[in-house]
Amino acid sequence: PIRANQNEHSENYSGNFMKMFAIEIGLLVLAGLILIIDLCANKRKFHWILFVSIGGLAAILGHLIFHRNDLIGLALHNCYSVTPLDLFFKAILILGSLFVLLIFSSRETTSDEFHGEPYLLILLGLVGASFAASSGELITLFISLEILTFASYILTAYVKKDKVSSEAGLKYLIL
């Protein structure tokens, strides 16, 4: 009898599979677009990457706000669940990433060279955090945290010429 109730509950609560993953798919497409721009553009890619990343995150946030009822549901045998509270945390994560990108863009305008890798790594970390917000089981949480920490490892030791940055990256990897 307990299984029957759980199956009825999951059938009533399950949404369209692709709609539930719309935020994460959008973030991955945005990261791929930034990677392509970084590889193809030459001197003026700073403005393109900045505008595409901020505009893409704003569009994803708008989709999350205006289509929040379509995103709710269960997937992957209840390993991935999207509730209104999960959507709230995803909105906070996207807003935080927007602020981080804006702060990082002010740092990039003062340096001689521009690299698009931090923008890509911030978005990949956001994908991991977004999956962590909707994880329904421990294995899903573990995989999403590994995605998040992989981007954090690289961002910690990003400045190659700075000894403190390299030391911090090594300590983060060891601990």
Q: What is the pTM of this model?
A: 0.81
Q: Where are the beta strands (DSSP E) in the chain?
A: 73-75, 80-82
**DSSP for residue 112:** S
Spell out the per-residue pLDDT of the chain, length 175, in tens. 444 444 444 444 445 777 888 899 999 999 999 988 888 877 666 677 888 999 999 999 999 999 888 778 888 787 888 889 999 999 999 999 999 988 877 765 555 556 778 889 999 999 999 999 999 889 999 999 999 988 888 888 777 677 787 778 777 777 7
Q: DSSP secondary structure string, 59-101? A: HHHHHHHHTGGGS-EEETTTTEEE-HHHHHHHHHHHHHHHHHH
